[in-house]
Structure 1
Amino acid sequence: MATEDESSSWRTFVFGDEDLPDPDYPIDHVPRDERKGLVSISAVLLGFVFFAGTLWSGAEVGAAMGFGPMLSATAVGYAILGVYVAALCGIAAKAGLTTVLLARYSFGRWGAKFADLLLGGTQVGWFGVTIPMVAIPTATFFGLESRTFVLALIVIWGVLHLATAYFGYEGMEKLSLVAVPILVVVGLLSVFIAVQDAGGVSGLFSSTGGGGMGFAAAVTIVVGTFISGGTQAPNWARFASSTRVGFWAGLIAFLLGNGFLFLSGAVGGAVYDVTPAGDLYEVLAAQGLAAVGLIALVLNIWTTNDNAAYAFGVAGSEAFEFDRKRPFVLAGGTVGILLALAGAESLLIPWLSTLGQYVPPLGGVIIADFLLCWRLDVPRMEDVDFADVRWIAVLAYGVGVVVAILTAGQVVPGVGAPQVLPGPGGAALNGLVAAFVVHTVAYYLFEETGLLAGHDVDAAAERL
């Protein structure tokens, strides 16, 4: 039987010091004296976007289009993605709230519970499908590829990924401040070696690609690489010291950071014959830098996966209106590790497609709501009598999802022959835009005219 001291230690591990507030404020506005500067917010968001899947996408587009046309598609696609995420980050910084708490304003107190399930549940799945992406290469590097060893590594890496999320923003910030500079240096080094191996810049641009992909299809792949993850960016941008800092941190991470990673994948995929094309570890191994490649891959996956764990932690806090995130980080992480042990890595591509169809319309509703309906004049939550369900947002989200599903894989005009849009890219952008438009129109038709009731906001509310 556990002693009183042992019971107290266990509760502290699960909940944190119950005499102190959760330093991440999972169900409240982040206080002004806890806000961070541009370097801190950018580092955390850059750690989030540095994900191996972006490298593969870059290699795929570069191989299909050729290097020159790929650069144009990359510039357009990441401009779209960067502005979308930067807008969400600016809104989060203004309000000091996570994505799921912003959803409470847009969808209502009970309507936001769906956002909790969607954003938290999908991130648990993401956590599970990505752990093997570092566990399997680690086993390969050490020449110990038995199933038992791989399973042991899945548990070890899963626990480590949870560790920084367990300590919240501060833990992720410290990891990112170390990992991001290393990943940038390694990426630049790899690109430099690859360019030399290709015979210089002219060698890269001489590639015409294999064809089969037009400009429109390429842009949608670029947008689709991280548009779902970008919808979660408010979870960290809410710590920004100002709206401007939040906006620029989002733009730096999702335009420059993601664009750099995409370009690195395209260069590696164009020069080296590895599978999957552009794979960070395999490319560096082909360059004689296998150990460096493993270190870079570890940091790459870790800085993305601890953000996933943090996301389902704060989603659980909102769902149960509980002011501690740690229990949900630990519970969701346990489920994610079990999924990884069951072989969930085979579901990565279908999971990306699902995220691309169901998550971005939520972001479209939130942006429309805070920019065009609230006009960034955000009252504190305690000054709002939230409606149970805000039906115009439900309508807009539903239309966005339907549009995303119907346009996933549809044939659209490309450059030259018609091209097939990849699901995660085309669906994501189409669903987002549809949700944005429908929510804006429905607000001015129904809530502004008084046909449908919205939230009851105290006229004397203290503004942020």
Structure 2
Amino acid sequence: MENEEILKKSQKEISVEGTEDFPLVEVPESERKGFWSISVVLLGFTFFTATMWAGGNLGVSFKFWPDLILLITLGNFLLGAYVAVLGYIAYKTGLSTVLLGRYSFGDWGSKWPDFVLGFTQIGWYAWGTATIAILLTKLLNLPQGWNIPLMIVFGFAFSWTAYVGYRGLEWLSRFSVPLMTILIVWSMTIATKDAGGLAGILGIEPTKNMTIAGAITIIFGTFVSGGTQSTNWTRFSKTAFSAIFGSLIAFFIGNGLMIFAGAYGGLVYQEPDIVNVLVKQGLIFWGIVMLFLNIWTTQDNTIYNFSVAGCNFFRTEKRRYFTVGGAAIGTILAILGMYNWLIPWLVLLGTFIPPIGGVIMADFFYKHKMRYPKITKIKFQKFNWAGILGYVAGALIAKYSPGVPPLNGIIGAFVFYVIFDLLFKLFRINNDHVVEGEE
């Protein structure tokens, strides 16, 4: 009788946590998803209009061949590899990035990545909300006074599928990803014709200048914040294959396609703004429909990320409350002018977000040898100083070293985590977690 009561209680707890998508515990095996489910959710996330804007800025700065093609390939390969490694960690542990942060940064120390990752996702949500409102007023020739009311409507409407959870994200992505693919191919076909075919494309000279390092930083920065939090979905993976190759399909191929499409339009029309490109191409109606769905699939993932970070920060399972609250904050930022901050925002993300992933990788692969004890069995130290100092070193390296800041930050954080951990061991400074029953 007692065992039956325990079983019922356990099933009830899993049911409650399941409706909130397990924000504070490992995803159980019974809730794991297959390759296509993981891939379509991640693709829905990376199919984002902001990525096309970033690509547009590359298109006006580099020749199509070989410069633009090589930059897009290299930048997205680096991003895809980074996300795939984090995806594997999420599959092995069943944990999100912010929960992995408790191991890597400590119980209190993990509140810093919670804040940074949550803040950046709210920034993206605000940008997407502002974008769809401005897009509609431009394409429909509405008065400028419509911008703010539309931002308020979309700011809350986009959060609905995130409120539902993983199932809502998957349903929307299955519908919108094929439509966005059609729009991209359609737009590029028109652009090729307008340029006079491939020969015309190859003959276009760039009108602006950008460094190679700056270009890769923008490519990497478009989704390094989201990629660092892609564990929110890869933790649902049934297999390592689903986590790794689902991540590569979304962040190498999917994100690469979005960058390429934006760069292609920017190159042909020497216009980095994708909305203006669609207007020139006459794709007003279908552009509105497909871009609306495109932005929505990223908006719901973005606000979902914020809600998961909020749950860890405040140690609560009420993910849905943070979904609605985050939507309100994002709407306010949209009204305050987030639309105009995209490129500085990408540079900021590319500098300060990647070291978080570097610390998590070092903690998982080096310190714990790919075997984390269950999160419910651990009494965490308040601060994992090797992780915190490794992050600071990585962020400083990303900010001040030459080359590609995001890549430098990841490698720097990983290396300095190992260095500081070895120093703590050398001087016999305890920097380990306490496992319950083994004190």
SS in 2 for 1:65: coil
- Match for residue 56 of structure 1? 53
Output the CA distance in 1 between the equivalents of 2:276 and 2:208.
25
Decide which of 409, 416, 423 is 1:431's aligned counterpart: 409
| Structure 1 letter corresponding to 2:310 | G
Change (3 A) 1:214 1:427: closer
Change (3 A) 1:448 1:75: farther
Does structure 1 residue 181 correspond to structure 2 residue 159? no
Does structure 1 residue 241 correspond to structure 2 residue 238? yes
Is the Cα contact below 8 Å between 1:81 and 1:227 reproduced in 2? yes
Output the CA distance in 1 between the equivalents of 2:286 and 2:54.
22
- Match for residue 17 of structure 2? 21
Decide which of 104, 107, 132 is 1:106's aligned counterpart: 104
Output the CA distance in 1 between the equivalents of 2:343 and 2:74.
24
Decide which of 383, 387, 394 is 1:389's aligned counterpart: 383
- Match for residue 279 of structure 2? 285
Is the Cα contact below 8 Å between 1:66 and 1:210 reproduced in 2? no
Output the CA distance in 1 between the equivalents of 2:247 and 2:329.
30
1:256 positional shift: 0.3
Is the Cα contact below 8 Å between 1:65 and 1:214 reproduced in 2? no
Output the CA distance in 2 between the equivalents of 1:218 and 1:121.
24
Within-5 A mapping of 1:1-400: 20-23=16-19, 24-68=21-65, 69-147=67-145, 149-210=146-207, 212-274=209-271, 277=272, 279-400=273-394
1:459 positional shift: 8.8
| Structure 2 letter corresponding to 1:115 | P
Output the CA distance in 1 between the equivalents of 2:394 and 2:143.
44
SS in 1 for 2:430: coil
Decide which of 419, 433, 439 is 1:441's aligned counterpart: 419
Change (3 A) 1:159 1:96: same
Is the Cα contact below 8 Å between 1:50 and 1:261 reproduced in 2? yes
| Structure 1 letter corresponding to 2:183 | V
SS in 2 for 1:226: helix
SS in 2 for 1:64: coil
1:39 positional shift: 1.1
Give CA-to-partner distance per residue, 1:359-400, whole Å, 9 cap, x none.
111111111211222222122112222111100001001111
SS in 1 for 2:107: coil
Output the CA distance in 1 between the equivalents of 2:17 and 2:217.
42
Aligned residues: 424
| Structure 1 letter corresponding to 2:267 | A
Q: CA RMSD in A?
A: 2.2
Give CA-to-partner distance per residue, 1:376-433, whole Å, 9 cap, x none.
21221122221111000010011112222324xx6x6xxxxxxxxxxxxx33222222
- Percent of residue pairs identical: 40
TM-score scaled to structure 1, two decimals?
A: 0.86
Change (3 A) 1:62 1:142: closer
Give CA-to-partner distance per residue, 1:286-314, whole Å, 9 cap, x none.
22211111122212221111111111111
- Match for residue 4 of structure 2? none
| Structure 2 letter corresponding to 1:100 | V
Is the Cα contact below 8 Å between 2:162 and 2:301 reproduced in 1? yes
Deviates more, 1:178-187 or 1:339-348: 339-348
Change (3 A) 1:80 1:448: farther
Give CA-to-partner distance per residue, 1:80-100, whole Å, 9 cap, x none.
111001111111111111110
1:214 positional shift: 4.8
Give CA-to-partner distance per residue, 1:253-283, whole Å, 9 cap, x none.
1100011111111211122244xx1x33332
Change (3 A) 1:18 1:363: closer
Is the Cα contact below 8 Å between 1:120 and 1:312 reproduced in 2? yes
Is the Cα contact below 8 Å between 1:447 and 1:454 reproduced in 2? no
| Structure 2 letter corresponding to 1:112 | S
Output the CA distance in 1 between the equivalents of 2:156 and 2:246.
28
Output the CA distance in 1 between the equivalents of 2:351 and 2:215.
18
| Structure 1 letter corresponding to 2:201 | L
Is the Cα contact below 8 Å between 2:76 and 2:252 reproduced in 1? yes
- Match for residue 417 of structure 1? none
Change (3 A) 1:59 1:126: closer
SS in 2 for 1:21: helix
Change (3 A) 1:448 1:374: farther
Deviates more, 1:123-132 or 1:215-224: 215-224
Is the Cα contact below 8 Å between 2:28 and 2:94 reproduced in 1? yes
1:356 positional shift: 2.4
